[in-house]
Structure 1
Amino acid sequence: MNKQQSSPAKHDTEYDINKDTAAKGHEAVLALLSRNDVQAYSMVIFSLLALAFFSIFAIKPTLTSFFDLQRQIADAKMLDQELTTKIRTLLRVQEEYYRIREDLVMIDQALPADPAFSSLLKKIEQVTADEQTTVSTFTTEDFSLLEEGGTHMTKDDEIGNVSFSLETDAPYPNSEALIRRLLNLRRMIFINRLELISNERSTTPVVQMEISAQTFHLNK
């Protein structure tokens, strides 16, 4: 009977001891945390933990974006340099083209891409009319106005030619002026033969002139 009554008292005593121990431990912890050095160390530890957390979730993406931007800026600078170089090259080419543009036009007129004999014939007619010379005959064996190609030559060579002959009647000064005008045409003309025949029976100083010449063109 006595043993059964002492058991609750024993449990109460153990509970009081544990409670006192917990209280003392809590007071010890509070006392420890209240120390300046412990608080300083705690602040350092918490700061390091916060910095690590901030570095992982905030600084790292920012640094990644920063390096990506640096790479993009470097690529943009390189592209800009390449474009600048190309633009300068194009400007030099354009400047050179403008400088020789008139020469290119004259080259195209002197050596056209096709016979263009109809155009040359009109120029010859205009020159002979300006110099008051009478054309008695005009012949060509290599060209036909009825054919689109205009020439019967083969296209093995890069440069083709069309031969023609011309006979005129005019005073000597007019004939001389005609020759000079023909040679000064922008269309390239090479005179193979030139013969002047004086008509002694004529009352006027008329000279018969026979011209054998060639003009050139590019073969397509």
Structure 2
Amino acid sequence: MINFSSSYRGFLTKIPQPIREKGKDYASVTAAIFLTAFLVIFAIKPAVITIAGLLGEIKAEEKANKKLQQKIDQIITAQIAYTQVYDQLALIDQALPENPQFAPLIQQIEAQRILTNLELTDLNYSSIVLTGKSEQKTEKESNPQEINFSASMQGHYPDFKNFLKENFNYRRIIHINSLDIQQPQSQQEEINSLIISLKGTAFYSDND
């Protein structure tokens, strides 16, 4: 009976040593390749995907932050512009108030009349809605709204001149539509005294 084990061992002993070492090297390289492929597929690939996702999120966040910063810059610019025109806006509100502001208007006229020593003989004004909302407006009645008034006063010419000057300097927009100057018909009236009748219009913005 032939002993194959002893024959095989004998065969191996006849293989040159460099060939056996080279075979071992090939086996090591093959094992390293399989190990690398395993790591790439099961370990490194998920990490790469995760990193790529994080980079995408960071890029999206940077884009969102950039847009947010642009919005903030726009708000800051608008605030600066508003601050620069704030005083002018207050003047506009005084020149064209959002409601009739009838009482301050009459008080202004009356105060200037007293300061300029004029005697009020007649005062009339158009009807206005002081509280609440008016009925539905037509296109003709849209902004700005008007308060028409008329007044008759008696006094000296320099006093009338000062009266008109002070009212023209009033911040609220007042338009003098007509001005009529007459001498008193009664001989008992003060010498050089005049009667002046004026008609005017004040404006306001009705946003209701």
Normalising by structure 2, we get a TM-score of: 0.80
Match of 1:10 in 2: none
Determine the C-alpha separation between the residues in 2 that align with 1:168 and 1:107: 30
Task: Point out the more displaced range, 101-110 or 34-43.
Answer: 34-43
* Aligned partner of 1:167 among 152, 155, 172: 152
Please report how far the alpha carbon of residue 214 of structure 1 lies from its aligned counterpart in structure 2 after TM superposition: 0.8
Cα RMSD (Å): 3.0
Q: Secondary structure at the match of 2:128?
A: coil
The 3 A distance-change label for structure 1 pair 150 and 138 is farther
Determine the C-alpha separation between the residues in 2 that align with 1:153 and 1:139: 26
* 1:172-191 → structure 2 map (5 Å cutoff): 172-191=157-176
Match of 1:6 in 2: none
Residue identity matched to 1:111: L
Aligned residues: 202
Report Cα offsets for 1:44-82 as digits up to 9, x if no partner.
Answer: 112112211211222112211111122112212221221
Please report how far the alpha carbon of residue 92 of structure 1 lies from its aligned counterpart in structure 2 after TM superposition: 2.3
Residue identity matched to 1:195: D
Determine the C-alpha separation between the residues in 2 that align with 1:151 and 1:168: 32
Query: Is the 8 Å Cα contact of residues 117 and 150 (structure 1) preserved in structure 2?
Result: no
Determine the C-alpha separation between the residues in 1 that align with 2:120 and 2:137: 30
Match of 1:215 in 2: 202
Normalising by structure 1, we get a TM-score of: 0.76
Unaligned runs of 5+ in 2: none
Determine the C-alpha separation between the residues in 2 that align with 1:153 and 1:170: 43
* Aligned partner of 2:177 among 161, 173, 192: 192
Match of 1:8 in 2: none
Structure with the greater relative contact order (CA < 8 A, sep ≥ 6): 1 or 2?
2
Determine the C-alpha separation between the residues in 2 that align with 1:126 and 1:42: 113
Q: Secondary structure at the match of 2:198?
A: strand
The 3 A distance-change label for structure 1 pair 192 and 31 is same
Match of 1:84 in 2: 69
